[in-house]
Amino acid sequence: MTTAADIMHPGAQWIPATETLDRAAELMRRLNVGALPVSDADERLCGIVTDRDIVVKCVAIGHDPAQVTCGDLCEGTPRWIAADADVSAVLDEMESHQIKRLPVIENKRLVGMISEADLAQHLPDEQLAGFVEKVYARR
């Protein structure tokens, strides 16, 4: 059985909800990633902030990323998957919520992230095509 831990990108890092978006952008650049899980004061997942969020929801509308926090951009219910979950559960979670990145949690700690690139490296072409069709389908 292939698990979330088998296909994830290990070493993901939280960014606190209280941290500003300019700091998030710096961390994304340093880690060479396009998204960061956002944690509350108890290191629980409260959302994800993406490079696109910073541009579209902050910079493009004239806000200062040094004044807006990551928590300000978090919306909706955060989604995650257990490290020991089967890859089919990963796909179900990502497809049903039409998300492109999924934090992986083990013992209440962030242990990695699964992105489209991770799926592309580990899934057969047919399974990957099904994922793409479901995630990018218009509702």
Query: What is the per-residue pLDDT across 59-91, written as a single tens digit (0 to 9) for each?
Result: 999 999 999 999 999 877 889 999 999 999 999
Q: How is the chain split among helix, strand and coil, in percent rounded to 5? A: 40, 25, 35
Tell me the three-class secondary structure of 46-78, residue by residue. Answer: EEEEEHHHHHHHCHHHCCCCCCCEHHHHCCCCC
Residue (of 60, 49, 45) closest to 25 by Cα position: 49
pLDDT band of residue 127 (cuts 50, 70, 90) is confident
Superfamily of domain 4-137: CBS-domain (3.10.580.10)
CA distance 100 to 107: 23
Check: CB of residue 105 under 8 Å from CB of residue 85. no
98 pLDDT above the threshold of 60: yes
What is the reported pLDDT for 4?
A: 96
Radius of gyration of the chain (CA): 15
Q: Which of 56-70, 91-105, 110-124 has the highest mean pLDDT?
A: 56-70
How many CA atoms lie less than 13 Å away from 125 in the CB half-sphere?
A: 0
